[in-house]
Structure 1
Amino acid sequence: MRYFLRKIGFLLLTVWVAVTLNFVLPRLMPGNPAQAMMAKFAQQGPVSPSQEKALELMLGLPTGSLWSQYWSYLGNIVHFNFGTSYSYFPESVSNVILTALPWTLILVGIVTILQFVVGTLCGVYAAWNRGKKFDSTASVMLSFTAAFPYFWLALALIYFLAYLAKWFPISGGYSGSLHPAFQWSFIASAVYHSILPAITIFATGIGGSLLGMRNNMINTLGEDYILLAKAEGLKNRVVALRYAARNALLPIVTNFAMSLGLVVGGSLLMETVFAYPGMGYLLSTAVSNQDYPLLQALFLCITVSVLVANFIADLISGLLDPRLRRGATTS
């Protein structure tokens, strides 16, 4: 119990630090969003101070002392009020994020979990049959694909399969003639548009999962308790999965949890290449338009999701390896 309480306390502390830094850093930047927008308007003519003041009021820029702004900021976070998006004015930042988040969670989340499961199981099989045909072939091929920059693979898929062969759409998350709705026509269109992005994520990520699990398990197979399990006549499947794979899995649980945490941020370059309407594409749009409220909310969502994912990985590690809990109790 002490182990889990320490992890919960550390999570709360790091979330508070992340929230505070997310408040402080934008205020250390010179100028403000209204001045950035006025600089664009000034190309068409001079802008008066009254016009700039009206724009500041319209955008809802914070006023008052820094301390009062901080408490107001904390209250807004509790109520998921991140202000108004400049890129999608007059939409609120919360609505903009909630529109893009499902696209990223469904595509990037499902593919990330799938490539981890498939890659891990293949890594177990390759390690158990190390030196044989599957091990040699899979290790070489997936090492090659893992070295691919995924934006390069995305461009290659677009050129050959979408532009030349015309088998898939070049960009977008669904057909322009449809509107998002829980209907078969829209779902089919969304799945069709997600095939190439899914292939990109899966092909470039499965190699890391397979090679990581394979290398960890090969080291585990040399332990004394594995030799003892074999000597007792246990089935190979039991020895491989219950003893070797379970202990080899511990070091990569944290990496997988971090990957899941980063899912909220989307796949920036992939979504930009495919113009896929997820969080990564939203982040790119916010940067290009200097949309500070949207940027601030996106960074906060990504940071908190990574911290929560790391917290869950610590809990899973503690459940899988009782030595971690005993170490926390004795310290």
Structure 2
Amino acid sequence: MKYYARRIAFYAFTLWAAISLNFLIPRLMPGDPADIMLAKMARSGEVAPGVEKTIRLLLGADTDQSLWDQYVAYWGNILQGDLGVSVTKFPTPVTELIGAALPWSIGLLGIATVISFVIGIAGGAWIGWRRGTWVDNLIPASTLLQSLPYFWVALLLAYLFAVQNPVFPRIGGYDVFTFDGPELSWAFVGSVIHHGFLPALTVVLSSFGAWLLGMRNMMVSTMSEDYITTAEAKGLRKSRILLTYATRNAALPSIAGFGISLAFVVTGAIVMEQVFTYPGLGKLMITAVQGNDYALMQGLFLVITLTVLVATFFMDLVYGFIDPRTRHNG
């Protein structure tokens, strides 16, 4: 129980620090969202004082409050699920924009990350088991794919399979000419899969090589352990040694790394989403940065932070369950 209590205390402190920094950093930067919005409105004509006051209150730029009062109000808004109003999509609430983009990033990048992890772990275990044979030649090829930049792989796939050979669409998350918006139907699901194939393939090709190489090296190290030699001497089936003894222990470090990778899914492969104009958090982040939309940036950073902390905390619990030594040493 001490292990879990320490982990909870650590993540609670980290969450407080992250939210506090998320509050302070935009306020240390020059300008504020209200000034940006008012400047845009001023291009169309004079802004009435009443409208200016309303905009400042709506965007949380009430200069009459002290920094501490703003900090307390910020915590109160977060606890109520209020992340402010977007400047670039005024007057749409930030929570609505993030809520619309989050399922796309989780659905696409989450599934692609799981697929790349499964391929890497299964392939790495097999290559490590048959080390020294021709299958070791697969490692350099996977490492080459991993070393290629995300945007280059995305552009290459888009050029080959969307431009030269229009097998898959190049932009969007679904067919906007067929569907007015997301809906629960097999036709819509098929359209989403069709549009998401190339972005997902980009993620898989660019990331499975790391899992493959890491798992292969861990398998080679595990195969030299005494308990593997003992299992072989007892005459246990090779399949049992591979799955129960070797793969299970070799996969432990990869499971911890998988938790981190899965946590950062919500950040989106920003460049990949931009290449394919995919409606995820990565594309929304670029929109926020280009429009100096501080409220939207704050909301995105907060969601990313919360997701990373929750995912790593969950993986800590899982890791402590599958490896009891962690609980005693932690």
Please state which band the TM-score falls in when normalised by the shorter chain: over 0.9
What is the Cα deviation at residue 51 of structure 1? 6.0
Secondary structure of 2:171's counterpart equals coil
Q: Distance in 1 between matches of 2:247 and 2:220?
A: 10
Q: Is the 8 A contact 2:58 2:85 kept in 1?
A: no
Residue in structure 2 matching 1:252, options 251, 254, 257: 254
What is the Cα deviation at residue 192 of structure 1? 0.9
Deviations 1:38-73 (Å, cap 9, x if unpaired)? 444566677787764443234343451211211111
What is the Cα deviation at residue 275 of structure 1? 0.4
Deviations 1:164-203 (Å, cap 9, x if unpaired)? 1111111111112212111223222111110110110111
Relative to the length of structure 1, the TM-score reads 0.93
Relative to the length of structure 2, the TM-score reads 0.93
Partner of 2:110: 109
What is the Cα deviation at residue 327 of structure 1? 2.0
Partner of 1:229: 231
Partner of 2:197: 195
What is the Cα deviation at residue 313 of structure 1? 2.1
Partner of 1:18: 18
Moved more, 295-304 or 228-237: 228-237
Deviations 1:92-123 (Å, cap 9, x if unpaired)? 11111111111111110011011101210110
Partner of 1:65: 66
Partner of 1:272: 274
Q: Is the 8 A contact 2:37 2:87 kept in 1?
A: no
Secondary structure of 2:267's counterpart equals coil
1:1-331 matched pairs, under 5 angstroms: 1-40=1-40, 52-63=52-63, 64-136=65-137, 138-177=138-177, 178=179, 179-328=181-330
Counting matched residue pairs gives: 327
What is the Cα deviation at residue 320 of structure 1? 2.0
Q: Distance in 2 between matches of 1:54 and 1:6?
A: 45
Q: Distance in 1 between matches of 2:163 and 2:329?
A: 57
Q: Distance in 1 between matches of 2:89 and 2:47?
A: 23
**% identical aligned pairs:** 46
Aligned-residue Cα RMSD (Å) equals 1.8
Q: Distance in 2 between matches of 1:58 and 1:261?
A: 32
Unpaired stretches in structure 2, ≥5 consecutive residues: none
Q: Distance in 1 between matches of 2:76 and 2:54?
A: 25
